[in-house]
Chains A and B, each alone.
Chain A
Amino acid sequence: MNRTTQAVRSRWNWTRNWQLHVMMIPAVILIFVFAYLPMGGIVMAFQDFKPWLGIGGSPWVGWDNFDKLFGQQDSVQVLWNTVVISVMKIVAGLIAPFVFALLLNEVRKMAFKRFVQTLVYLPHFLSWVILGGILIDMLSVDGGIVNRLLTGALGIRPIFFLGDGNWFRATVVVSHVWKEFGFGTIVFLATLAGINPSLYEAAVVDGANRWKQTLHITVPAMMPITIVLATLALGGILNAGFDQIFNLYNSMVYEKGDIVDTFVYRTALIQGNMGFGTAVGLFKSFIGMFLIVASYRMAYVWGNYRIF
């Protein structure tokens, strides 16, 4: 392209550029209202906010809300719960689809493979309201099907899955893995499909059996994407799954099962302690932002992953 056509083209573009800007208007406005305006609301974190006084009239309290966050035993416990539940979920939530994808990769009957895939992807799309309703019924101590089968088969006493702190954490992690492992395999299966078949052919020539092939070709090929998924998951370490926890927990398990998001909801919207709730939310957003930026950076450096 020579200079003249370039000049013509840019002028030609310029005359039509306004149309593109017009197209941006609705989204820009909506994002401004629903994403940027609330960011202004974070000043409430430094106030003893009262809805009837508004942001202008509520008294300023400096860092009091943050002192409370780190000074109160229950809010520190909540931060700890969040990290513990999150880490367990991330680890279990990576191992399960990894192994499942390896197993599924060994199936050569396509019809069976598709059948399995159809069933295991399904729970991902059901909401925690539905699953919470089902789990509360199934895990109930008096006559829930799980306890019924366990006591029948093993002769043990019924287990308080949702009423005992440690069992609650285990239930949360297991039900999370149950819901998401199938969907998690998609990315791994796509990676497996991309492995060059000649690697396996060469391994066969060298006398490697299937187990050796898996160990030395398949698993190494899956490592980059696994590292990327792990680092990206770290960015969300303070998101321990509000929907799930909220639909499964109750006051009996607050001590071990309450997480930042459920805590913010209860303190701010139920107890009306809005300044403190905002402060906890702000703290979480801030840590979250650094973690996301850092994890994308790491995923880029280690796994050559980029979002754009």
Chain B
Amino acid sequence: MFYKSTGYRVFSAFNTAILLLLSIACVLPMIHILAVAFSGKAAANANLVNFWPVDFTTEAFRKTFDNRNFVRSLGISVYRTVLGTAIFLGLLLITSYPLSKEPHAFKGRTLYIWYFVITMLFSGGLVPSYILIVKLGLNNTIWALVLPGAVDVFSLILMLNFFRNIPKELEEASLIDGASHFVTLLRVYLPLSLPAIATLSLFTMVGHWNSWFDGMIYNTNGKNFPLATLLQTIIVQQDFSKITMNPKDLADISNRTVKAAQIFIGALPILLVYPFLQKYFVKGVILGAVKE
């Protein structure tokens, strides 16, 4: 076979080395930030830290969790992620179920589909959306972060394609037995589509956790910032105009190790769900790519 030849063996060794280097390059920045977060303040500020902590200490993490603003924003992020994902999921199920029917079984399906697809092609843009949220009085509330993206048309299309692959006989049997469409969705379709639901929920959770722009423009007061927005304004932009912090926290935040600790905690939930994500997202991507 080809892989026994000398040439291929040499290539194989090089290939392994290149892949190893590239894959380590993907996590090195996270390792560096973690090393800084666990290092002593003096060592970090003197630029002595590379990929291993110098003068190991957990002081930066203690200071981070003593910071009221940080803990509050962390709570808001958890809240928006849970609420946003729940609403997204409920809407996704009850909307994609009717849309997965054949046009003759659900009059008006084509019209509905176009109603949704048009929004993928064209949008009013940033300014009108912003004005709308303000006019509706949703700014400075959690709803400004949760409702605008609650119906995601792309997920809808993935989900309805998934529903279509469920044998129609199951639905017919359920309806003949006298179940309503709602019960059919709940008892037949839902249990059969758990992998797809898990995939889309995980993506939505990650999306909510990571999103920061809406939190920034719809909140006039920094105390309502979700964590991603807080990190964006304080660490990336270094803009303290919307945030009232006590002087001690303000002094800590200019500390490199504390910054690193905050960044790391901001990424931690993603790292924690990552093993589950990895299990599903390949399916999710293929789910979207392959059609019969």
Contact = CB atoms under 8 A, between A and B. Distances in A.
Contacts of B98: 20-21, 23-24
A22 B237 CA distance: 46
B125 A42 contact: yes
How many chain B residues sit at the interface, stated as a range, is 35 or more
Interface of B: 1-3, 5, 7-8, 11-12, 15-16, 18-20, 22-27, 29-30, 32-33, 36, 47, 50, 91, 94-95, 97-99, 101, 104-108, 112, 115-116, 119-132, 134, 136, 147-148, 150-151, 156-157, 161, 175, 180-182, 185, 206, 209-213, 217, 228, 231-232, 235-236, 256, 259-260, 263, 266-267, 270-271, 274, 277-278, 281-282, 285-286, 289-291
Interface stretch (A83-91, A120-128, A165-173): A120-128
A123 B26 contact: yes
Interface in A250-277: 261, 264-265, 268-269, 274, 277
Nearest to B172: A9
B131 A51 contact: yes
A209 B147 CA distance: 57
A130 B266 contact: yes
B106 A20 contact: yes
A182 B26 contact: yes
B97 A284 contact: no
Contacts of A135: 29
Contacts of A42: 124-125, 128
Given A30-B147, A306-B291, A265 B274 contact: no
A10 B107 CA distance: 11
A127 B127 contact: no
Contacts of A31: 115-116, 119, 151
Contacts of B175: 16
A285 B125 contact: yes
B182 A23 contact: yes
B232 A129 contact: yes
A23 B125 contact: no
A274 B130 CA distance: 10
B23 A40 contact: no
B85 to A, nearest CB: 15
A210 B212 contact: no
Contact of B47 (A24, A125, A148): A148
19 contacts: A39-B128, A42-B125, A42-B128, A100-B22, A104-B19, A119-B26, A120-B23, A127-B212, A133-B33, A133-B235, A133-B263, A178-B25, A186-B285, A190-B282, A204-B1, A246-B213, A278-B125, A292-B120, A308-B161
Contacts, number: 255
Given A13-B105, A116-B23, A145 B266 contact: no
B108 A21 contact: yes
Given A138-B32, A209-B2, A274-B127, A145 B50 contact: yes
Interface of A: 10, 13, 16-17, 19-21, 23-24, 26-28, 30-31, 33-42, 44, 51, 100, 103-104, 106-108, 112, 115-123, 125-127, 129-138, 143, 145, 148, 178, 182, 186-187, 190, 204, 209-210, 213, 242-243, 246-247, 261, 264-265, 268-269, 274, 277-278, 281-282, 284-286, 288-289, 292-293, 306-308
A250 to B, nearest CB: 9
A interface SS class: helix
Contacts of A123: 26
A72 B205 CA distance: 41
A281 B127 contact: yes
B131 A41 contact: yes
A278 B15 contact: no
A23 B130 contact: no
Contacts of B161: 308
Nearest to B284: A186
A209 B5 contact: yes
A23 B260 CA distance: 46
Contact of B266 (A13, A44, A129): A129
Nearest to A10: B104
Nearest to B12: A106
Contacts of A107: 15-16, 19
Contacts of A308: 157, 161, 291
